[in-house]
C-alpha cells in the first residue's frame, strides 16, 4: 500500500479547493457581465460621485473590481482550509469561513476605527467601490489587497504546519482544543499586527467619517449630477468650477458631534450659476453607513431635488438630483473642495 507524503496531500487539497473557488468567482463575473449587458446594455455609468463613466472605462473598472476580490476570496479559502485541518472530518470545518465572514460583516456595521476596519479581509470585498469615483479611491482597495494576502498566507502556513503534525493513523482523533488554540493564535496575532500597520500607514483617524469629508463629497456629487440634470432639461451647460457648489452639513443638531455614521445627517448645498446674482440652495437628508457609503434624499426645493422626476421636452424623466448615492474616502486626510 502506497503511503503518500502529507506535504503532497496538503498541496493537492489546497490547489483543488482554490481552483474550484476561483472558477466559481470567474463564473459569477462572466454571468453578471453578460446579464448586465443583456438587461441594461452598453451605456455610460453614473459613478458614486455623480461623474459619468464611459462604457470602456466602466468595463475596465468592473474587471479591476472582480480582480480585487480575488485576494479576500483567497483569505477566506485559506480559513476554510485551516478549519478543515483543525476540525478533521467534522463538517463544521467547512462552515468556518462563513462563520468568520458573518462575524466580520456584523462588526463592520459598527462605527469601527479605520485601522480596525481596514485590517479585516472583508473590507477587501467592498473596497472596489472606490474605483467608481473620479479620481478613484484606490487606497482602501490596495490596503485590503495587502491585508487579505497577509491573512491568506498566515492561515495557509498555519494549516500546513498543523496538517504535518496530524496523526492520520488514529481515526478517532478529529481535532483538539490545543489544535484549535494553535490555529486561532496566529490569526489573532495577524489581526493585531494588521491594525497596527494600517494605523501607522494611514493618516485618517477615528471612523474616517467627519463633516469636512462629507461636505466635500456631497458638494462634488451634486455638481456632477447638476450637469446631468442640465442636459436632461436642455439648458445651457455649466462646469463644476462655474457652479462652485459647497455643502454645509450637520449631524443631529448642536448637541451631537459632527462625526461618524448615522441617519441624522443634514446637508444644505449652495451653488451659483454664471450671470445670476442669486445663490441656489438645496437640502438633503443623509443616511451615512459605517463603511463610508451614504444615501442623500432630496428635501427640496421641488424643482431642484424635491421630486423623483423632472419635466423635460420629451416628457417626465428621472431626476438625477433627487437622490445621491455617494462614497466618503475613509483615508482622505484633507478633503478637497
pTM: 0.87
Q: pLDDT at position 202, please? A: 79
Task: Give CA–CA dist 306/310, Å, rounded.
Answer: 10
10 Å CB burial of residue 254 (0-12, 13-18, 19+) is exposed
Q: pLDDT at position 168, please? A: 57
> What secondary structure does DSSP assign to 55-99, as a single string?
HHHHHHHHHHHHHHTHHHHHHHHHHHHHHHHHHTT-THHHHHHHH
Q: pLDDT at position 291, please? A: 93
pLDDT digits (tens, 9 = 90+) for 61-96: 999 999 999 999 999 999 999 988 888 767 777 788
Grid cell of 153 as nine digits: 498566507
Mean pLDDT of 43-63: 92
172: pLDDT confidence band, cut at 50, 70 and 90? low
Within 10 angstroms of residue 132's Cβ, the number of other Cβ atoms is 21
Which residue from 297, 319, 316 is spatially nearest to 307, judged by alpha carbons? 319
- Specify whether the CB–CB gap between 326 and 286 falls below 8 A: no
The answer, yes or no, to whether residue 177 has pLDDT greater than 80, is no
Q: pLDDT at position 176, please? A: 57
16: pLDDT confidence band, cut at 50, 70 and 90? very high
- Specify whether the CB–CB gap between 293 and 127 falls below 8 A: no
List the chain domain ranges.
Answer: 6-201, 211-327
Task: Give CA–CA dist 317/311, Å, rounded.
Answer: 7
Q: pLDDT at position 19, please? A: 94
DSSP state of 40: T
pLDDT digits (tens, 9 = 90+) for 89-130: 677 777 889 999 999 999 999 999 999 999 999 999 999 999
Q: Which residue has the higher pLDDT, 176 or 280?
A: 280
Task: Give CA–CA dist 167/285, Å, rounded.
Answer: 61
pLDDT digits (tens, 9 = 90+) for 185-225: 888 888 898 888 888 877 778 899 999 999 999 999 999 99
Distance of CA 179 to the CA centre of its chain: 34
Grid cell of 13 as nine digits: 487539497
Q: pLDDT at position 254, please? A: 83
SS3 readout for 177-223: HHHHHHHHHHHHHHHHHHHHHHHHHCCCCCCCCEHHHHHHHHHHHHH
Reported in sequence order, the residue ranges of the chain that DSSP labels E, i.e. its strands, are 45-46, 52-53, 246-251, 262-271, 280-288, 293-298, 309-312, 315-318, 323-327
Q: What is the largest CA-CA distance in the chain?
A: 92
Percent of the chain with pLDDT over 90: 61
The answer, yes or no, to whether residue 337 has pLDDT greater than 50, is no
Amino acid at each position: 500500500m502506497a503511503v503518500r507524503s502529507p506535504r503532497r496531500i496538503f498541496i493537492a487539497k489546497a490547489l483543488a479547493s482554490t481552483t474550484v473557488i476561483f472558477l466559481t468567482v470567474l463564473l459569477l463575473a462572466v454571468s453578471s457581465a453578460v446579464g448586465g449587458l443583456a438587461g441594461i446594455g452598453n451605456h455610460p455609468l453614473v459613478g458614486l460621485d455623480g461623474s459619468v463613466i464611459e462604457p470602456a472605462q466602466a468595463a475596465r473598472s468592473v474587471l479591476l473590481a472582480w480582480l480585487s476580490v480575488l485576494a479576500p476570496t483567497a483569505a477566506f479559502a485559506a480559513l476554510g482550509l485551516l478549519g478543515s485541518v483543525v476540525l478533521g472530518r467534522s463538517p463544521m470545518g467547512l462552515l468556518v469561513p462563513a462563520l468568520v465572514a458573518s462575524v466580520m460583516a456584523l462588526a463592520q456595521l459598527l462605527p469601527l476605527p479605520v485601522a480596525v476596519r481596514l485590517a479585516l479581509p472583508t473590507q477587501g470585498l467592498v473596497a472596489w467601490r472606490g474605483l467608481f469615483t473620479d479620481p478613484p479611491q484606490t487606497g482602501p482597495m490596495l490596503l485590503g489587497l495587502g491585508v487579505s494576502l497577509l491573512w491568506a498566507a498566515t492561515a495557509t502556513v498555519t494549516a500546513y504546519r498543523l496538517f504535518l503534525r496530524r496523526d492520520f493513523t488514529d481515526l478517532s482523533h478529529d481535532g483538539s482544543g490545543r489544535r484549535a488554540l494553535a490555529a486561532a493564535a496566529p490569526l489573532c496575532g495577524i489581526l493585531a499586527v494588521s491594525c497596527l500597520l494600517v494605523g501607522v500607514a494611514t493618516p485618517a483617524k477615528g471612523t474616517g467619517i467627519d463633516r469636512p469629508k462629507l461636505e466635500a463629497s456631497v458638494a462634488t456629487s451634486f455638481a456632477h449630477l447638476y450637469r446631468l440634470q442640465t442636459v436632461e432639461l436642455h439648458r445651457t451647460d455649466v462646469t463644476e468650477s462655474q457652479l462652485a457648489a459647497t455643502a454645509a452639513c450637520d449631524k443631529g443638531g448642536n448637541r451631537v458631534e459632527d462625526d461618524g455614521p448615522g441617519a441624522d445627517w443634514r446637508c444644505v448645498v449652495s451653488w451659483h450659476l454664471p450671470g445670476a446674482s442669486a445663490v441656489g440652495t438645496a437640502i438633503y437628508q443623509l443616511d451615512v453607513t459605517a463603511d463610508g457609503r451614504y444615501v442623500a434624499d432630496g428635501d427640496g426645493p421641488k424643482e431642484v431635488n424635491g421630486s423623483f422626476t423632472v419635466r423635460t421636452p420629451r416628457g417626465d424623466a428621472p431626476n438625477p438630483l433627487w437622490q445621491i448615492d455617494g462614497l466618503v474616502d475613509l483615508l482622505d486626510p484633507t478633503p478637497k473642495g
